[in-house]
Chains A and B, each alone.
Chain A
């Protein structure tokens, strides 16, 4: 983390100083000068662009069954090979990016907004709501996150939307706890007292002082949350609970590849590789965001 800062040239450091910390421009400047984050952003952008354009750039359709190409090994014609129904794995992998990314983004968006709202109310007002919420979170967190998501999706049944809801619910406790702790921490700071002492209105204190200072760890964990929720989504689909075949979700593809692993191991390689690339990219961006937002690291 710290080594990344060293990599920045002196010129960039100067530009850094001239921008207000925490501003969008400042964060962007930091991200665009951090080689890890740049690689991450480029990978995500490339996967997204190819995913959206996949019907136009590939000559095969992701769902086209062709028995001649059944179980075909990687070749010039099919770079990643074909699956047990002769569908081109490369097209399916790129098309399937939309599932992992949309599940990751949507479920994290839901759990972050619900969690942040609950955590802020509990942290700022305290009292009975706070203690009820904390006990409820204790109960939800009595299960490991993936187990909770499994329980919810067992009840809701399989499907893309249900998978998103299951992962969103299992993510709420983390965000709520984190936001509550941040708010409690910020509330006790001297600058809040200072703002109060110069007769700053409560609304202004909340919007101008509390939220900007409490939200930055949330931004980082949203980025990391998209990564872990994408991972959990693929695990759920692998278990047969999330997105179902024939949809080319990466976990679901691995689940069907698993049955043929003795004869055709190539089918299992690429979907997992892309899960890994996506998750690494998001983590790299998250790491860099943390460096940009965490004032403790700037000495």
Chain B
């Protein structure tokens, strides 16, 4: 098992490396650069702009710039600096990471804690009124744009009832609406997924066997159906997290939360591309690590993967002994 864990952790390194190259390559396709933007607003001549670009290294060949970028990034932890504010991107992002963490992980926590029980209840009572109601509402909530839901929540809870703040950052109450708006779609999605996969298991032969040998319905559901039905749900959580991470970018903008996502969007709007690169890289990194955690969780829960690795290492041991 530890071999699987190490292998999976090591796989992240090349992905992040190539992702950073890809982000740099894509961003260097943008036809303008900060120096041109700033200096074209002053009275600088075209020659002066060119000279400044030369000095800043914007006219170097692509590979030289890429090499410098990677060297600064991985040897010095330097992601460049924002030309708007002049502050280093890495420091900016470090101060913004907690906001995005709270939002994204709060949302996934809420989605899992609400979505899975809802889906299981629905599956166990398939066809009943409560099941149909759940399915109807989850379909509706799954189809809502999260930023629109955010606006509706603000109208209701902040402007009409004056219970919660409309935007900005502060205590925990500032995260309630953003987390709800971001997670509702995933709650619905996870509930639907759970229902479908638990239903499939409930109809399978081993559950019929368990019932036919006279086990209590509670035991059948909890001991036999759920552990098997929830395995595909756990795999899908990684996908849902991706959706929540993308969604938190939009939600941060809607609620003016200073997170990584809003940093990136502001960077795009200001053409501040060092900021965009840095934020992108962090998002990819958070996503990769979460997918890794989901994969490992899955490996620990699904006995088939464990068995596979146990078998392969046993085989190798046997081979070694034979040799």
Residues of A that sit less than 8 Å from B by CB? 1-3, 6, 138-139, 142-147, 150-152, 154-155, 227, 231, 234-235, 238-241, 251, 254, 257-258, 261-262, 265, 268-269, 271-272, 275-276, 279-280, 283-284
Closest to B143 in A: A279
Q: Mark B149-178, 1 if CB is under 8 A from A, else 0.
A: 101101100010000001000000000000
| Complex interface: chain B residues within 8 A of A275 (CB) | 144-145, 148
Cα distance, A151 to B25, chains bound together (Å): 12
Question: In the complex, are the beta carbons of A227 and B143 less than 8 A apart?
Answer: yes
Interface contacts beyond A144-B242, A231-B145: sample of 7 additional A-B pairs, CB < 8 Å, sorted by A:
A3-B126, A139-B15, A235-B145, A235-B250, A258-B151, A261-B159, A276-B148
A-B contact pairs, 6 of them (CB 8 A): A3-B126, A139-B22, A143-B284, A150-B246, A268-B151, A272-B148
Contact of A144 among B27, B29, B126, B245 (CB under 8 A): B245
Question: In the complex, are the beta carbons of A261 and B155 less than 8 A apart?
Answer: yes
- Least CB distance, B33 to chain A, in whole angstroms: 13
Q: Mark B213-253, 1 if CB is under 8 A from A, else 0.
A: 00000000000000000000000000000110111011001
Whether, in the assembled complex, B147 has its beta carbon less than 8 Å from a beta carbon of chain A, the answer is yes
Cα distance, A276 to B148, chains bound together (Å): 9
Contact of B155 among A3, A268, A280 (CB under 8 A): A268
Q: Main SS of the interface on chain A? A: helix
Question: In the complex, are the beta carbons of A150 and B145 less than 8 A apart?
Answer: no
Residues of B that sit less than 8 Å from A by CB? 15-16, 18-19, 22-23, 26-27, 29-30, 126-127, 131-132, 139-140, 142-149, 151-152, 154-155, 159, 166, 196, 199, 242-243, 245-247, 249-250, 253-254, 264-265, 268-269, 276, 280, 283-284, 287-288
Closest to A233 in B: B145
| Complex interface: chain B residues within 8 A of A150 (CB) | 246, 249, 264-265, 268
Question: In the complex, are the beta carbons of B254 and A258 less than 8 A apart?
Answer: yes
Q: Main SS of the interface on chain B? A: helix
Q: What are the 5 A-B residue pairs with the smallest beta carbon separation, nearest first?
A: A272-B148, A146-B246, A144-B242, A279-B143, A144-B246
- Least CB distance, A147 to chain B, in whole angstroms: 5
Question: In the complex, are the beta carbons of A280 and B280 less than 8 A apart?
Answer: no
Question: In the complex, are the beta carbons of B265 and A143 less than 8 A apart?
Answer: no
Question: In the complex, are the beta carbons of B288 and A235 less than 8 A apart?
Answer: no
Cα distance, A147 to B282, chains bound together (Å): 12
Question: Given known contacts A147-B249, A235-B145, is B127 in contact with A6 (CB within 8 Å)?
Answer: yes
Cα distance, A1 to B287, chains bound together (Å): 32
Cα distance, A258 to B283, chains bound together (Å): 26
Question: Given known contacts A231-B145, A272-B152, A280-B140, is B250 in contact with A146 (CB within 8 Å)?
Answer: yes
Cα distance, A280 to B166, chains bound together (Å): 28
| Complex interface: chain A residues within 8 A of B147 (CB) | 235, 238, 254
- Least CB distance, B87 to chain A, in whole angstroms: 21
Count chain A CB atoms within 10 A of each CB in B126, B140, B145, B149 and give the residue with the most: B145
Question: In the complex, are the beta carbons of A144 and B151 less than 8 A apart?
Answer: no
Contact of B268 among A138, A234, A241 (CB under 8 A): A241
Question: In the complex, are the beta carbons of B148 and A254 less than 8 A apart?
Answer: yes
Cα distance, A131 to B115, chains bound together (Å): 36
Contact of A142 among B126, B145, B268, B287 (CB under 8 A): B287
| Complex interface: chain A residues within 8 A of B139 (CB) | 280, 283-284
| Complex interface: chain B residues within 8 A of A254 (CB) | 145, 147-148, 151
- Least CB distance, B118 to chain A, in whole angstroms: 16
| Complex interface: chain B residues within 8 A of A227 (CB) | 143
Count chain A CB atoms within 10 A of each CB in B139, B243, B250, B287 and give the residue with the most: B250
Question: Given known contacts A6-B127, A143-B287, is B152 in contact with A238 (CB within 8 Å)?
Answer: no
Question: In the complex, are the beta carbons of A265 and B246 less than 8 A apart?
Answer: no
Cα distance, A151 to B264, chains bound together (Å): 9
Question: Given known contacts A155-B27, A234-B145, A238-B250, is B151 in contact with A272 (CB within 8 Å)?
Answer: yes
Cα distance, A241 to B250, chains bound together (Å): 12
Cα distance, A6 to B246, chains bound together (Å): 38
Question: In the complex, are the beta carbons of A155 and B30 less than 8 A apart?
Answer: yes
| Complex interface: chain B residues within 8 A of A284 (CB) | 139
Count chain B CB atoms within 10 A of each CB in A1, A142, A143, A258 and give the residue with the most: A142
Closest to B284 in A: A142
Contact of B280 among A151, A239, A268 (CB under 8 A): A151
Question: In the complex, are the beta carbons of A268 and B148 less than 8 A apart?
Answer: yes
Contact of B242 among A145, A231, A240, A262 (CB under 8 A): A145
Question: In the complex, are the beta carbons of B140 and A276 less than 8 A apart?
Answer: yes
Question: In the complex, are the beta carbons of B155 and A142 less than 8 A apart?
Answer: no
Question: In the complex, are the beta carbons of A144 and B26 less than 8 A apart?
Answer: no
Question: In the complex, are the beta carbons of B280 and A147 less than 8 A apart?
Answer: yes
Cα distance, A3 to B264, chains bound together (Å): 44
| Complex interface: chain A residues within 8 A of B250 (CB) | 146, 235, 238-239
